[in-house]
Amino acid sequence: MDSTIVQDDGAQRHVNKVPLTAVGWRHRFAEQLNKHVVDVNLTTTATYMLLKWIFIRELCKPDFKVEEFIMQNFFSEVFKYLCHRKKKSVSSDTQLWRDVIERYLDEFKEAVGFGDPLLKNATDVANYEAKTIITAYTNNIVQHFGEHLNRAVNCILGKKQMEQQLRNIPPGPEHDEFRRRCREEVWIPAKQVKEAFVQRNYTDATLCARAQHVLHLLAPVLDAYDADYEFAEDSRFLDVTHNPKMHFRAFYELAKFFDAKKFKGFVCFPLRTSWVPAHTTITTSILRSQILAPVLGKREKQRIKVEDSWHVVLDLQSKALHASGGK
């Protein structure tokens, strides 16, 4: 079993990725560690699924501000709700998030068969997993929004098919004539559309009929922003890299367009489809709440000083820890 062990000693922070057998993990805590790793994986996987469940339903509402939910704190709240419903008073933003989660939690758990909470006192775990999830969401938009938008243009114009036909025609008058058609029906419209994509506002009068047709079909995508929203430096694609969450509704509308047109789809909502078995992140706080407390009990755990926590569960003198910077 491998583990990412994060040791905090105040002045320094050591991150070690090593086999647990190499660091002398105590047998007494092995079963709880295994349970913790599995529970975190199941809860994280369910968090990805519940987020998709929520977003698909809320994005049907024109007034749903999805950018207010593409946030690490919201994702953390969803994770924690799968562990335990929250009741204490919170800020208005957090209460808004909880209201949305409450709206769908029970039907989701029944639909996917998610049973009793697997983790307790999981705030630290939730925060770590939420970082991973928000990274998956934002990277997906930054890396693929422009790619899929351009692919939509090419599919509408039949670029691949036209260019394949052109390659099959031997050089000569027929080839030259078909090349002219490609230029007028595909290459020029595609260039005009992709130039129009960059800015928020464009003028139809400057575009050919084919380009106008493409932009008309993609209007739900291009108009999926508040009327007063301005792109950074007046560039859509630059703004995607700076403010990816502001483009999530457009990304979703693009995914819907691909589905409606039967084009080859893409992943709009990240899901946890692959996972490294027996891999988890453990900080000192997570160690105390998720490993020590269940095995030793709260009272005995409290008697252990925070700085001594790691001494209890593993051999800090092991060669593996020293080789990777542990003390």
Residues whose CB falls within 8 Å of the CB of residue 50, separated by 6 or more in sequence, listed in order:
78, 82, 101, 104, 105, 108
Residues whose CB falls within 8 Å of the CB of residue 80, separated by 6 or more in sequence, listed in order:
86, 122, 123, 126
> Residue 45 falls within a domain, yes or no?
yes
Same domain assignment for residues 116 and 226: no
Question: Of the candidates 275, 153, 284, which has an alpha carbon nearest to the alpha carbon of residue 293?
Answer: 284
> Residue 291 falls within a domain, yes or no?
yes
Same domain assignment for residues 113 and 6: yes
Question: Of the candidates 182, 153, 151, which has an alpha carbon nearest to the alpha carbon of residue 165?
Answer: 182
Q: Which of 226, 260, 294 is the last residue of a domain?
A: 260
Same domain assignment for residues 29 and 129: yes
Query: What pTM does this model have?
Result: 0.86
Q: Which residues of the chain have pLDDT under 70?
A: 1-23, 86, 201, 274-279, 320-327
- Taking 3-state DSSP, the helix, strand and coil percentages for the chain, each rounded to the nearest 5, stand at 65, 5, 30
**Predicted local distance difference test score (pLDDT) of residue 99:** 94
**Predicted local distance difference test score (pLDDT) of residue 68:** 95
> Residue 317 falls within a domain, yes or no?
yes
> Residue 105 falls within a domain, yes or no?
yes
Same domain assignment for residues 6 and 33: yes
Find out whether 7 and 13 touch, Cβ atoms under 8 Å: yes
**Predicted local distance difference test score (pLDDT) of residue 3:** 57
**Whole-number Å distance between alpha carbons of 87 and 193:** 50
**Predicted local distance difference test score (pLDDT) of residue 323:** 54
Q: Which of 260, 281, 299 is the last residue of a domain?
A: 260
- From start to end of the chain, where are the E strands? 2-8, 13-19, 281-282
**Predicted local distance difference test score (pLDDT) of residue 14:** 59
> Residue 10 falls within a domain, yes or no?
yes
Same domain assignment for residues 116 and 26: yes
Instruction: Tell me which residue range forms the domain holding 177.
Output: 144-260
Same domain assignment for residues 92 and 57: yes
Number of folded domains that form the chain: 2
